[in-house]
Amino acid sequence: MKQDKAAIRKAMRERRRALPAGTVEEAGRAACALAARWAEFRRTGTLLAYAATDNEVPTGPLIEEAWRQGKRVFLPATGSDGITFRCHRPGTVLVPGRFGIPEATGEPFEPEADGEVMIVTPLLAWDLRGGRLGRGGGYYDRCLRRLTGRAVVAGFGYEFQECALVPMDDRDELLDFVVSERRIVRCGADVRSARNRKDRSDGLLRDSHQPVRRHHSRLGT
């Protein structure tokens, strides 16, 4: 499995790095435009996003829209014990973090008991069941397991990054949705997700035909 993951990462990273800057910017605008009018995004009060690097799908337009809608925005900060999210406000400057990735320096994110949260994650590969392949450090997976409260986890990726089946193990967390430059995909859902989101489709979602049950209860639900 490790070899499979390494091979997929290598191929996807090379393909992503080969994208022209204009293509990356256009994909970011398209994906963020889809997400900005998405019911799941509009109903949330807090956005945990990322600052794109290495030709990841840009999230800048979505962050700007979140501010316009009065949402709180947090970005990852990486330390020796993994990822934490810190507040990012309009006009504040991001600073290079542990791996040279721009990070916020505001107050840390603390889940609210009744707050709706959306977590937007970068990725290298994804599949319809919600499988996600990241850089390989496991930072996001560990972070998702630590967070409490209600949340929606959406991976931001390119259409070409879709795989038939992303190799996963018990340490890997599943996505609820994937947002690409073309569509928003509702991934294989457990009973909780299906029940909570059945009546909230706004015409942008395409249901997966590979429903799976998560290997544990995530995010306190």
In the chain, where the domains are located:
2-207
Please give the distance of CA 215 from its chain centroid, rounded to a whole number. Answer: 19
**What fold, for 2-207?**
Rossmann fold (3.40.50)
The helix or strand, by DSSP H or E, that contains position 141, with its residue range, turns out to be: helix 139-146
Given a cut of 70, whether residue 52 has pLDDT beyond it is yes
Q: Which of 161, 147, 142 is nearest to 119 (CA)?
A: 147
The helix or strand, by DSSP H or E, that contains position 125, with its residue range, turns out to be: strand 125-126
* Model pLDDT for residues 100-158, shown as the tens digit of each residue: 788 898 999 887 755 789 999 999 999 999 999 988 666 777 777 766 446 889 999 99
| Residue 195: count of CB within 10 angstroms of its CB | 10
Backbone angles phi, psi at 84, to 5 degrees: -125, 160
Q: The whole model's pTM is what?
A: 0.80
Residues in the chain, total: 221
2 confidence band (pLDDT: 50, 70, 90): low
* Model pLDDT for residues 75-109, shown as the tens digit of each residue: 988 876 778 889 999 999 898 887 778 889 899 98
Region 22-50: what's the mean pLDDT?
96
pLDDT at residue number 45 = 93
Cα(181)–Cα(123) distance, integer angstroms: 14
